[in-house]
Structure 1
């Protein structure tokens, strides 16, 4: 029609409104699905984060993150940071708890999409690649679930903090490198799992100083060194640093950050820094100074705290947590996701470098190096694949933008459809994971195979029924404990939080051990009720320990006389007994 203006999607793809549109589309989809998923937190950590926020708003001390409904009256010791509680508490305070559960994960996603857009713009992506980059997140298998409503654990926010930091580094400049250092400090204050990535980023900036005389390393490390103790002291009491745990940022880490920062800031003024060899020799001083300092001050905490994990906890808890295991202990489909993500980064990085000038390649190389190191770290710790897949999105989007138009240009319908599907199949890890899923049992580790072979009752357990019973202390398998806290007024003996290794051991020993061992442990733990849910994977795994152990006796109903079946729970997968 004359005078009418058609919608220019290419121009729209470059506008901030494109981020809002992509985010709004995701919000519509997930909110439509929300009633099907339910309005309860999705996992144990989501429940426990909710309790932490509830307790804070109810008046529990800012520095006190102990969960007192677990292992009462002492409570369960937690190492979590209040930094993650802040957005949840603010939204809950002004809009209610349910709004916080729904809105906060979506706000994390919005921040991630804006950071992703900044990266795509800096790399000079065209309209098609930018649009694909903003929309492709649901096709990255490790990402979508992390940003669903009711998912409020700390994994999503720390990945977003890392992504924003990388976006600042890709954009360049010392001020932005300093801001990235502040975000890096927030990451390691939330979780020490971010420490290898922070070291990797420092290494990439060190390479830039060596090769290009790029002086952002000092700004990054200086901000990191100042912000790390600030975040730690703002969210933890000084007494925490004297506890016998190795799961938080310690003075040894902070001292190493400070030493690295001082050395990096002094390097440009050292002799022979005009040459690459001189700069390389100067950079070597950083690990020589920081390494011994960290090892001396950290002592045993310099080692992997899970290396000396109790064998029972390793076999029936940690060894079965897929997200905490290395790639060689993963099901084949999960290992393929991690490997495919690295392949996307390498192939996409190579394709993007072709024909680029040195100035254009430098931000691309910053992203590529950090993405490769993040992928390699995910090989050691699977859940870090969340961060790695965010960094892989630009490379996947570039490949799709290059090959998808060629596929769509085919004239024959069947080849065109096949080529289009192949583009998406090759440029995302989703399809390789789905194809290999049936082979997981064939290549499973011993622990995983035991879990796969364990007897599972397909009927779900309605834990809210426990609310009908008089309030008491419940001995339950570790994974369902937080849900019992969320859906009932009861307290629980313990849940899966590693600082409480002795209590966790007792729970596992109760379910996996003999009737006699169960009696002795029940006398020690003094529960009012013992619960077994035959539809949960953790109890099924416990049942594989021995045919006549407590887990099997509880499910079969052939319990010793010191356990009394509770009326109303005789049928179905949920078994409840009162301790006499």
Structure 2
């Protein structure tokens, strides 16, 4: 299955677009109706989605463009979010249109626009994967296969489902477009502008979220390796320079858009900053050093390439040291343990088995069979790439695929980044199987190819029941907790009862155990929270943990006073702690100190106990 490098004609592109639209509509309608109908019932998918619409609503109501602090969490000072503005605008602009054309109020419009923003981005990522597949495989059939492979990625589909008002699908689109452009840029005779498109797409991905570097950096590394190995590496080195130029240009734009002039040199690893720009410039400098010798002897090339890479890495570490900061953060062992606990409570940050909870079924359910199909396709294609000169583009795809697999095993959420190289790679499997000399009969090769593809696509469904059983076993009762303590119901009740149970004149502050409930409660009721599932809110998480585990009422009261708490909520169905004398255990039993006044709740909220803080008691 060799690629055809002629420019696609409109007549050949339109069927792919129509096919992708049909497949994406089927996938997301299916998810909405059969798997998770929450959005149809007025729910968003997770805390991030609620936090995003809270943030967009704040912008709509006049929050400063450069203000990254939301008062909804980490009260009273507010939470500094590492999120950036591109997705906010993709939600806000349609919401403003809905306000004007449909007469919706801002909250309704933002909720609807936010809940529907991800499926179109999934479609865009799918079309980018189809373009990438056309650069390596047959341009007639492989793009259609790429559509199916992207649709069959569990991470891509779930992170892009209706109700997911977060930036994951936008990152997926950016890295898929960047990878597809890089594949085209490394084909023989490719133009320089497509390499700049690759860099700019990756730069936009880093703007949205620095995790885009999981794919961007391996792609740059693969381009460098191609320049070292090729008979004449000048083309690869030049394309590497152009890609890093596009990356740097986009990052400059991001810094100017996201930060006021006084903060253009601010360094933030988790949010686009001059640190990422310096990384792009140093990579570009390494390519610039390699290019003059890229047509010479390979020994000299390797010497220059290794020296340039080491110099760039050394300069980056010297400019942005990270180890001393980590040592300082770990100086307080108790705080370090608490932050590790915070990390362990976030399921998407856990590694895949065998490094994390679950078994083989969990891997199949969360990753699906597309990465495996991609590995098989790349392995079968190596000989053909060597023969037709496509090995440099294949190297880019293969390195990105391996990096994505490693990242997914490191943390579940990175399976989303893996979806880009996996879909493009797996799109070539059918053609590679059909092109084999074994089995001899074409019909048998077709049957073998169909068995492989259909089996890979079906893997998440086949593994689902076993994986769910493993998850429920390890959760040890979380379903019972969830049914006893409904955060949505509590949020709706707080919205109506807020004026009666909290001081007037300011948005009340609620302290509760469930750090995931804060964003939804803030959206539905306007009640501010303290702890939340965000790494920048570590101090707030620690305060809540210390207050609830305190056995000294004075210490707990001091923490709540510093947090200006008006309300405290606990769930009686939560697992017991190790100490029956700590505050949270006593509150679950209804044994509150004098300065916490019980607030009556309706029977439907019987799993909760709510207390009002009485500062005068």
Bucket of the pairwise TM-score, normalised by the shorter protein: 0.7 to 0.9
What's 1:264 paired with? 287
CA RMSD of aligned residues (A): 3.6
The partner residue of 2:528 within 491, 494, 513 is 491
Q: CA deviation at 1:228?
A: 1.5
1:38-49 correspondence runs (5 A): 38-49=41-52
The partner residue of 1:205 within 197, 220, 223 is 223
Secondary structure, aligned partner of 2:295: coil
- Counterpart Cα distance in 2 of 1:184 and 1:397: 22
CA contact (8 A) 2:23 2:151 kept: no
- Counterpart Cα distance in 2 of 1:344 and 1:396: 5
What's 1:374 paired with? 404
- The TM-score with structure 2 as length reference comes to 0.79
Q: CA deviation at 1:252?
A: 3.9
Q: CA deviation at 1:136?
A: 4.2
The partner residue of 1:237 within 236, 260, 267 is 260
The partner residue of 1:221 within 238, 244, 264 is 244
- Counterpart Cα distance in 2 of 1:302 and 1:253: 19
1:25 aligns with 2:9: no
CA contact (8 A) 1:13 1:131 kept: no
CA contact (8 A) 2:200 2:250 kept: yes
- Counterpart Cα distance in 2 of 1:326 and 1:184: 25
Q: CA deviation at 1:326?
A: 3.2
Q: CA deviation at 1:63?
A: 0.6
- Counterpart Cα distance in 2 of 1:311 and 1:350: 43
Q: CA deviation at 1:246?
A: 4.0
What's 1:162 paired with? 175
The alignment of Structure 1 onto Structure 2 pairs a total of residues equal to 553
- Counterpart Cα distance in 2 of 1:396 and 1:179: 23
Q: Deviations over 1:398-451 (max 9, x none)?
A: 4467789x9x989xxxxx9x9988853445541564364267379x9xxxx5x5
Q: CA deviation at 1:239?
A: 4.8
Structure 1 unaligned residues grouped into runs of 5+: 1-9, 411-415
What's 1:5 paired with? none
Q: Deviations over 1:9-28 (max 9, x none)?
A: x9899543222222333354
Q: Deviations over 1:78-98 (max 9, x none)?
A: 221112212112111212324
1:549 aligns with 2:577: no
CA contact (8 A) 2:374 2:429 kept: no
What's 1:184 paired with? 202
What's 2:4 paired with? none
What's 1:452 paired with? 476
Q: CA 1:14–1:244 in 2, change beyond 3 Å: closer, same or farther?
A: closer
CA contact (8 A) 2:49 2:166 kept: yes
What's 1:294 paired with? 316
Q: CA 1:303–1:189 in 2, change beyond 3 Å: closer, same or farther?
A: farther
Q: CA deviation at 1:507?
A: 1.1
CA contact (8 A) 2:56 2:110 kept: no
CA contact (8 A) 1:341 1:375 kept: no
What's 2:570 paired with? 532
- Counterpart Cα distance in 1 of 2:599 and 2:170: 42
CA contact (8 A) 2:370 2:456 kept: no
The partner residue of 1:350 within 367, 375, 379 is 379
CA contact (8 A) 1:141 1:429 kept: no
1:90 aligns with 2:93: yes
What's 1:505 paired with? 542
After the TM superposition, which of the residue ranges 554-563 and 114-123 deviates more from structure 2?
554-563
- Counterpart Cα distance in 1 of 2:86 and 2:288: 29
- The TM-score with structure 1 as length reference comes to 0.84
- Counterpart Cα distance in 2 of 1:91 and 1:566: 41
- Counterpart Cα distance in 2 of 1:431 and 1:65: 40
Secondary structure, aligned partner of 1:218: helix
Structure 2 unaligned residues grouped into runs of 5+: 1-10, 99-108, 500-507
Q: CA deviation at 1:181?
A: 0.9
Q: CA deviation at 1:42?
A: 1.5
The partner residue of 1:475 within 511, 520, 538 is 511
Q: Deviations over 1:149-184 (max 9, x none)?
A: 221212221121000101111122321111111122
Q: Deviations over 1:233-256 (max 9, x none)?
A: 211235556778542344344234
Q: CA deviation at 1:364?
A: 3.2
Q: CA deviation at 1:138?
A: 4.6
After the TM superposition, which of the residue ranges 373-382 and 518-527 deviates more from structure 2?
518-527
Secondary structure, aligned partner of 1:564: strand
Q: CA deviation at 1:499?
A: 2.1
- Counterpart Cα distance in 2 of 1:278 and 1:419: 44
